[in-house]
Homo-oligomer: A and B are copies of this chain.
Amino acid sequence: MLEKAESLRRIERLKGELRAQGLDAAVFIYPIDVYYYAGTRQNSLLLVPAQGEPLLLVRKSLSRARLEATIDDIRPFPSSKEFAAALPANFGKIGFTFDVVPVQQYQFYQKLFAGCEFVDASAINREVRSVKSAWELERMRESGRRLGEVFLQVPDFLKAGLREVDLAAEFEYRLRKAGGEGYVRMRAFNQELFMGLALSGASAVMPGFFDGAVTGRGLSAASPHGASQASLVAGSPVFMDYTGVFDGYIVDMTRVFSIGKLPDQLMKAFEVSLLIQNYLVERLKPGAICEELFLAAARLAEEAGLGNCFMGPPGENARFVGHGVGLELDEFPVLAQGFKVPLKAGQTIAIEPKFVFPGQGVIGIENTFAVSEAGGEKITDIPDDIVFV
């Protein structure tokens, strides 16, 4: 459960941003945003005035929202006729999350908030959420511990003859038994992920819709990501890229396993991925510029002669090397081209230098780190080595 003091600190940070941007209030209806500020993801509308107390209007379930929410003023969602009277004040400019709210919802709420101007507060919200408190960092570390323990069990069940989907089933079974919540929230339009990717050999190389280096073949063109029916192949990297979701907080990590020896070229690429990771971790400090970190990583890949297979199959390379993670898998900031902003202490970032070799497989590393004055704190703290079984 979210603590009230934690919730109040978040709301105060948001209110400061609203005032700085000349907004009179923010309205949240996207569930994980409501949860972040109010401690409940029941179907609700959260109104945060720039001055004054927040208000939670609940569609379903009111009784559960009353058990969970950290704010004082919780009411049933009013009828359209009674809506205006339920508001604590007349607001001029209201911030709204244009990044995730569908047009129908937008039009509906524009009518309800008659006379108000809705402006896009997506960036404000994502920036506030990107910096994790001490309370959140402790939850992220706990997610890292629990996901790491499942990764350590992989040698217990990894063997030749399994299909990718069998490997996925074994991993996901242990993750659920460990209390993994399963559902992975992504904010970007068009993205979907079912827990993670259990991939092997050439099947891992197939390009796809996923905004990352690797998508996987999946089980059909309707669900074209993650594990497929392909069988594991000895001497070819088994690529396990999984999220762990506990108490809402997501960590993201990748480890490579192998049945038998791997080709020298892939072993060398793995060393380069560690080199890039270590380079970035040393520099994961407040003030470092996201884009510069990506460009440095790409340069290290180039210098190792691996530029063309860095972060994607040749010709379909993704132009990033890390992404914020927290209550959603794709949070701010992104270590990517065009992202010219400085890191802030307390941001949590999955760093994932990966190399895609057509016909052979994918190799690389991924860990979740917290930005700190001392460089990146490793939150997914198990050994990085390839595990040979």
Interface of A toward B, CB cutoff 8 Å = 1-2, 29-32, 35, 39-43, 60-64, 68, 96, 98-107, 120, 122, 165-166, 168-170, 172-173, 176-177, 179, 181-183, 185, 189-190, 192-195, 206-209, 211, 215, 218-224, 226, 229, 245-249, 316, 327
Contact = CB atoms under 8 A, between A and B. Distances in A.
A250 to B, nearest CB: 10
B120 A209 contact: no
B31 A209 contact: yes
23 contacts: A29-B189, A35-B221, A39-B221, A60-B211, A64-B207, A64-B224, A96-B103, A98-B103, A98-B107, A100-B102, A101-B102, A104-B120, A104-B189, A165-B176, A166-B177, A169-B173, A181-B218, A182-B195, A182-B223, A183-B193, A183-B194, A221-B248, A222-B249
A193 B211 CA distance: 22
B209 A41 contact: yes
A24 B118 CA distance: 30
Contacts of A61: 207-209, 215, 316
Contact of A41 (B39, B170, B172, B224): B224
Given A102-B102, A103-B106, A222 B247 contact: yes
B182 A194 contact: yes
A169 B247 CA distance: 17
A207 B68 CA distance: 12
A244 to B, nearest CB: 12
A100 B102 CA distance: 5
Contact of A222 (B41, B106, B190, B208): B41
Contacts of A229: 179
Nearest to A106: B103
A221 B107 contact: no
Nearest to A206: B64
Given A103-B98, A224-B42, A219 B179 contact: yes
A200 to B, nearest CB: 16
8 closest Cβ contacts across the A-B interface?
A222-B248, A61-B207, A169-B176, A181-B223, A98-B103, A183-B194, A182-B194, A173-B173
B223 A183 contact: yes
Given A61-B215, A169-B177, A221 B41 contact: yes
Given A29-B190, A208-B61, A222 B181 contact: yes
A93 to B, nearest CB: 16
